[in-house]
Amino acid sequence: MKRMLELIGAIAPLRLAPVSEETDEAVRILCGELPFRVHEYASGEEHNGWNVPLSWQPERAEIRRNGRVIFDGMRHPLAVVGYGVSFSGRVGAEELKRHLFYNASFPNAFVYHCDYFYKPWKRDWGFSVPLNFYRGIEDGEYDVDIVTREYPGTMKVLEYVLPGESDESYLLNAHDCHAAQANDDISGVVVGIEVMRRLSKLARRRFTYRLVVAPEHLGTVFFTKNQSSFLPSVKGAIFLEMLGNRNRMALQHSFTGDSIIDAAMGNVLRHGWPDAVEGPFRTIVGNDETVWEAPGIEIPCVSLSRFPYPEYHSSMDTEDIIHADMLDDAVDAVLSTIEILETNGVAERCFTGLIALSNPKYDLYISTEDPSIRVSVPEDQKKWHYMMTCLPRYFDGRTSFLDIAEKLKIDYFKLRSYVGRFESKGLIRILYPCTS
């Protein structure tokens, strides 16, 4: 937990971008945490209309009035718009305002501007400013001096693979390109790293697990283009983002909403974090799930976040809003989801007919209130009584434990533990693995 906070503190203040010297520094730091493989894509590469940009770094950025500096764009990593171009000249107030970007919700904060990352054909010069600064612009002339350095570089995508007994795999993804944003999304990066650390300590893994850290959209687009051979083996993906703020977790489902990764994480959150919310594809937040779900790739990808939060895309998204217990909860939710994937299976009956569950020979009956004696029976007891009645029919060698839990609206882990008691009595044979 402490290491996650330390990593956020080291990386979040950097002037990150899809390609930049400070992003390279972040890559160096992250490679010290896990033995990542670093994939590099050269500036100028193009795919489906996406372009790998040049390495970009502002060196001077000032607004002067009557010879006095009234705004220093170097005082904060967000103050110069990302990938803004150089400009030197005198402009009027209205022209200046056209190049100032703000969010009315942040009177004293800088807004995160990333439009030029993805639309290099519309690049211009500009500043990100607090609303109060914008409101203070008076009629007259202003001197603007912006110097940015641009040169060919490489966009870096990090990949870490934990092999399992099967080549069938699951994937975690987070992005590392937002300047001075702690929650969006260095929090997702550190959660992914911690999950992989803990997975690496397991005595066995049925499946292979992969963590991909990449610039948002751009990195993932070029990664899926160039490292495509493993894609058919991926059964599902989880995008990790904005997980450190104090808010309830939110699960955004995949495009179809009916994959094993949807069901597993949905079951985990509904029963482990009942305050969590769920929504269909692209209804909570938008990110790299669109790349994994793109035509011809079509990997079911859910997103786990704590979105929305008030500091989003502003200079208020700092380490101060990150909470260790929130990060740890997210790690636990992902690991619980993976535990379902690892332990999910089907059961084949080794008996015929109705089993007397209460017989001491089996000791499989879960006591419930007698409805003829009590006016009302707790809903949870009703659910478990119904489960005991139905469960043996699902020992058909086809219906997975996760499917059963979802059909009966029961916590997977409680169901799985109960199914294990049938196995211990020799009543069923459990078959692995199950990926659908």
- pLDDT-derived band of residue 367, with 50, 70 and 90 as boundaries? confident
**In the chain, % of residues over pLDDT 70:** 96
What integer pLDDT is reported at residue 368 of this predicted model? Answer: 67
72's tokens: 């220093």
If asked whether residues 63 and 43 sit together in one domain, one would say no
If asked whether residues 338 and 352 sit together in one domain, one would say no
Cβ contact 343:32 at 8 Å? no
Inform me whether the pLDDT recorded for 60 exceeds 60: yes
What integer pLDDT is reported at residue 381 of this predicted model? Answer: 74
What integer pLDDT is reported at residue 432 of this predicted model? Answer: 84
**In the chain, % of residues over pLDDT 90:** 91
Cα distance between residue 419 and residue 432, in whole Å: 14
Structural domain includes residue 436: no
- pLDDT-derived band of residue 149, with 50, 70 and 90 as boundaries? very high
Average of pLDDT values for 14-20?
96
Average of pLDDT values for 274-279?
98
306's tokens: 């704590």
253's tokens: 């489902």
Longest dimension (CA), the chain: 93
Structural domain includes residue 181: yes
If asked whether residues 161 and 285 sit together in one domain, one would say yes
What integer pLDDT is reported at residue 342 of this predicted model? Answer: 97
| Domain harbouring 69, CATH code | 3.50.30.90
Structural domain includes residue 207: yes
Inform me whether the pLDDT recorded for 385 exceeds 60: yes
If asked whether residues 60 and 209 sit together in one domain, one would say no
H, E, C per residue of 161-226: EECCCCCCEEEEEEECCCCCCHHHHHHHHHHHHHHHHHHHCCCCCCCEEEEEEECCCHHHHHHHHH
What integer pLDDT is reported at residue 19 of this predicted model? Answer: 97
Name residue 283's amino acid. T
Cis peptide before 185 (omega within 30 of 0): yes
What integer pLDDT is reported at residue 362 of this predicted model? Answer: 95
If asked whether residues 194 and 272 sit together in one domain, one would say yes
Structural domain includes residue 388: yes
Nearest residue to 187 (alpha-carbon basis) of 385, 71, 330: 330
- Phi/psi of residue 150, each to 5°? -130, 140
If asked whether residues 216 and 329 sit together in one domain, one would say yes
What integer pLDDT is reported at residue 378 of this predicted model? Answer: 66
If asked whether residues 299 and 214 sit together in one domain, one would say yes
- pLDDT-derived band of residue 427, with 50, 70 and 90 as boundaries? very high
- Could you tell me the CA-to-CA distances from 419 to 177, 204, 270, 337, 342 in Å, in that order? 45, 21, 20, 18, 15
If asked whether residues 73 and 122 sit together in one domain, one would say yes
- pLDDT-derived band of residue 384, with 50, 70 and 90 as boundaries? confident
What integer pLDDT is reported at residue 370 of this predicted model? Answer: 59
Cβ contact 392:347 at 8 Å? no
Of 300, 322, 343, the domain-final residue: 343
Residue-wise over 49-79: b if at least 16 C-beta within 10 A, else e? ebbbbbbbbbeebbbebeeeeebebeebbbb
If asked whether residues 311 and 419 sit together in one domain, one would say no
Q: The domain containing residue 237 runs over which residues?
A: 2-49+154-343
What integer pLDDT is reported at residue 7 of this predicted model? Answer: 97
- pLDDT-derived band of residue 382, with 50, 70 and 90 as boundaries? confident
What integer pLDDT is reported at residue 86 of this predicted model? Answer: 98
If asked whether residues 43 and 59 sit together in one domain, one would say no
Nearest residue to 428 (alpha-carbon basis) of 392, 376, 377: 392
β-pair partners for 208: 169
Structural domain includes residue 242: yes
Per DSSP (E only), the strands in 229-364 are: 234-240, 250-252, 277-279, 301-305, 346-349
Average of pLDDT values for 260-278?
98
Tell me the residue length of the chain.
Answer: 436
If asked whether residues 63 and 84 sit together in one domain, one would say yes
If asked whether residues 13 and 161 sit together in one domain, one would say yes
Task: Dump pLDDT digits (tens) for 396-418.
Answer: 999 999 999 999 999 999 999 99
Structural domain includes residue 190: yes
What integer pLDDT is reported at residue 374 of this predicted model? Answer: 58
Nearest residue to 302 (alpha-carbon basis) of 276, 271, 324: 276
Tell the residue number behind the tokens 């001491």, with chain if given: 360
β-pair partners for 13: none
Neighbours of 276 (CB within 10 A): 19
Neighbours of 151 (CB within 10 A): 10
* CA-based R_g, the chain, Å: 26
Of 135, 150, 165, the domain-final residue: 150
Average of pLDDT values for 332-359?
96
The chain-wide mean pLDDT, for the chain, equals: 95
Nearest residue to 411 (alpha-carbon basis) of 383, 382, 369, 389: 383
β-pair partners for 204: none
What integer pLDDT is reported at residue 380 of this predicted model? Answer: 72
357's tokens: 């569950």
| Domain harbouring 280, CATH code | 3.40.630.10
Cα distance between residue 6 and residue 268, in whole Å: 28
Of 150, 176, 199, the domain-final residue: 150
* pTM, 2 dp: 0.95
Average of pLDDT values for 178-197?
97
- pLDDT-derived band of residue 366, with 50, 70 and 90 as boundaries? confident
Q: For the ranges 77-81, 112-116, 159-163, which has the lowest average pLDDT?
A: 112-116
| Helix, strand counts (H, E) of the chain | 13, 19
- Domains: count for the chain: 3
